Amino acid sequence: MESMELLKKLSEAHGPSGYEDEVREIIREVVSPFADEVKGDALGNLMVWRHASRKDAPVLLIDAHMDEVGFVVSHVETSGFLRLAPIGGWDERVLPGMCLQVCTRERKKIVGVIGTTPPHIQSSDEKRNPLTLEQLFLDVGCGSRDEVFALGIRIGDSVVPAESFKTLSSNVVSGKAFDDRIGCALLVELMTFLADQPRLGVEVVALFSTFEELNARGAMVGAFTVNPAAALVLEATVAADVPSVPETRCPTRLGEGPALTLMDKYTHCHPRLVRALEATAQQNNLPYQFKRPIFGGTNAARIQTTRAGVATAIVSVPCRYIHSPSSIMRIADYEHTKQLVTAFVLDAEQWIRGEE
């Protein structure tokens, strides 16, 4: 499967935190024929093994989270409008007018629109102040609660943006859930590539994790199970190379290659692994950048502190507008990240053992 075809399929899948089933099924179907071993767990994580050339090899865990930010149906009004509760962090300013997709228990997909009072009848104060999620509602075209229930919608059903994957130009694509379906796509491609290579001196375990947007609990459990010597987290991260954002507050920029994290709000990446990633990029003539300033967090925080501690690093693809209905990514950044991660993993044994 071609890279962008895979990313399109993953991006359009329905999978907020705790409801990752559809994403997991896509990944399992694609990667299972290339895997030595595939396992799940009680939290919905999917773990995929590529065994090493020997039994005593160190374990390299590579993580990408399957979940996206979304909502859950929290109440159905007698008039047929739905109230929502957030799953993960949303900027509520982007919500009015957004098209959303409800997934019922039977996996029926129903599209609605986040409605508001029209500006024509708003007071001056209402126009000046951004609306909160509590003031908003989802309109699925029903006139009563009974009509909503007749569609199969119930309290607790999951909701995500109803956004399709698009090609904006020859090198730019947009879509929902790039955080972190991009990481998932990269990891699927890595595991399929390794299946055709000689076995390495490290055991490679791909962890497609759940619940990253809700305190990274999936990665915590998955890392405990795998017990790795080192870990690499694949992410999509904030690109803010847009008007009105000063350079000092721009974490990454599109077109400048994969982003290496030195530290964020919760993680200090292992210096040896960061140096190894930087050296790998330089040796392979790949562009790269450092993520800045120090904020945000990823699954790395949970993985790094598992058991007796895990040497952990983070590589991210820069994306504009993550945690919104549509993110934007440069295909070149994706390809350069894939090349960097592949080269790093092929030489992982020396980096894990500290042979720089």
- pLDDT greater at residue 84 or residue 241: 84
Same domain flag for 187 and 327: yes
* Helix %, strand %, coil % of the chain (to 5): 30, 25, 40
- In CATH, what number is assigned to the domain containing residue 195? 3.40.630.10
Q: Examine residue 170 and state whether it is found in any structural domain, yes or no.
A: no
Same domain flag for 122 and 261: no
Give the pLDDT mean for 158-167. 97
What is the span of the domain harbouring residue 145? 70-161
Q: How many domains does the chain have?
A: 2
Q: Give me 117's structure tokens.
A: 């009072």
Q: How far apart are CA 234 and CA 315, in angstroms?
A: 5
pLDDT (0 to 100) of residue 68: 97
Q: Examine residue 103 and state whether it is found in any structural domain, yes or no.
A: yes
Q: How far apart are CA 148 and CA 141, in angstroms?
A: 9
> pLDDT-derived band of residue 355, with 50, 70 and 90 as boundaries?
low
Same domain flag for 188 and 59: yes
- 212 catalytic per annotation: yes
- In CATH, what number is assigned to the domain containing residue 81? 2.40.30.40
Q: How far apart are CA 256 and CA 277, in angstroms?
A: 15
Same domain flag for 272 and 154: no
Same domain flag for 62 and 84: no
Q: How far apart are CA 74 and CA 53, in angstroms?
A: 51
Q: Examine residue 168 and state whether it is found in any structural domain, yes or no.
A: no
Mean pLDDT for all residues in the chain: 94
Q: How far apart are CA 129 and CA 171, in angstroms?
A: 37
Same domain flag for 48 and 93: no
pLDDT (0 to 100) of residue 321: 94
Q: How far apart are CA 141 and CA 263, in angstroms?
A: 46
Same domain flag for 229 and 80: no
Tell me the whole-structure pTM to 2 decimals: 0.94
Same domain flag for 130 and 246: no
Relative to beta strand 311-320, strand 99-103 is: unpaired
Give the distance from CA 185 to its chain's centroid.
Answer: 10
Same domain flag for 190 and 278: yes
- How many CA atoms lie less than 13 Å away from 285 in the CB half-sphere? 0
Indicate the residue among 134, 161, 188 that finishes a domain. Answer: 161
Give me the catalytic one of 212, 335, 349, 355: 212
